Amino acid sequence: MQFDQLKRREVISLLGGAAAWPLAARAQQAGKLPTIGFLGGGTPTGQRTWVAAFVQRLRELGWIEGRTVTIEYRWGEGRAERFTEIAAELVRLNVDVILAGGTEAAVAAKHATSVIPIVFPSAGDPIGSGLVASLARPGGNVTGLSGQQADLAGKRLELLREVVPGLRRLAIIANIGNPFAALEMGEVRAAVRTLGLDLVQLEIRRAEDIVPALQALKGSADALYVVNDPLFQPRARSATAVRRRPDTWDSGDCGRSYRR
């Protein structure tokens, strides 16, 4: 089976199935254990549940870490320069497949190699970010699943307005170093215009920017829309810790929105 012919339902079965399929043939040729390059978008702590699910699914498929497969874990910590460095390192290690956690990681991996298969468990806009030629026929050495997250921005805001009937002023925070963030922010801006809301934009580049941005926001918005990014995953608790009233913040789906 050619890499670009892999059907969507076969791409990821709890992550493990997607990464495992090309391993046996390549590893047998090399005379070594097959090796997965795990390019995590966040940190080991923030993504420990993902790793546990991944390893468990591999085991269910007969791939046991340390016995029948080797996993090279690397963590991007939400930093674009780290993704580039790690992707190049995994290519030098000649891993058999790269599991890229998120859009940025997948883009970095694609730039690093056109030969090693790359699987992404989720990407916001794989076509717009240049990962694949189309959803039906991705082509090349990259495949995975798309959450179409940007397309749902308007619907999220409609639901948020139902939850917060007095919503007038919305804040959005995003890592502008993430190429997908610009796409989703554009969708949010369009939805805000349609709904007649005021918008406050908080643009960050590093994890250290999160808390100061939220501290500066206090009292100036009715709700906060968080563009999903590995930078935010291990810091959701510290982010909500800067809220004005401790008992009145509710977290939305996947860290998407918070209301005051």
Q: Which pTM was predicted?
A: 0.62
CATH-assigned architecture of domain 3-146: 3-Layer(aba) Sandwich (3.40)
**For the segment 94-153, what is each residue's pLDDT rounded down to a tens digit?**
999 999 988 888 889 999 999 999 998 877 677 777 788 877 777 889 888 776 555 677
pLDDT of residue 110: 93
Cβ neighbors of 133 (< 8 A, separation 6 or more) are 127, 139, 140
Matching fold, domains 3-146 and 150-259:
yes
The domain spans of the chain are: 3-146, 150-259
Q: Which of 170, 178, 245, 237 is nearest to 205 (CA)?
A: 178
Q: Which of 47, 224, 72 is nearest to 122 (CA)?
A: 47
**For the segment 167-198, what is each residue's pLDDT rounded down to a tens digit?**
999 999 988 877 777 778 888 888 898 889 99
Question: 150-259: what fold?
Answer: Rossmann fold (3.40.50)
String of DSSP letters for 14-28: TTHHHHHTTHHHHHH
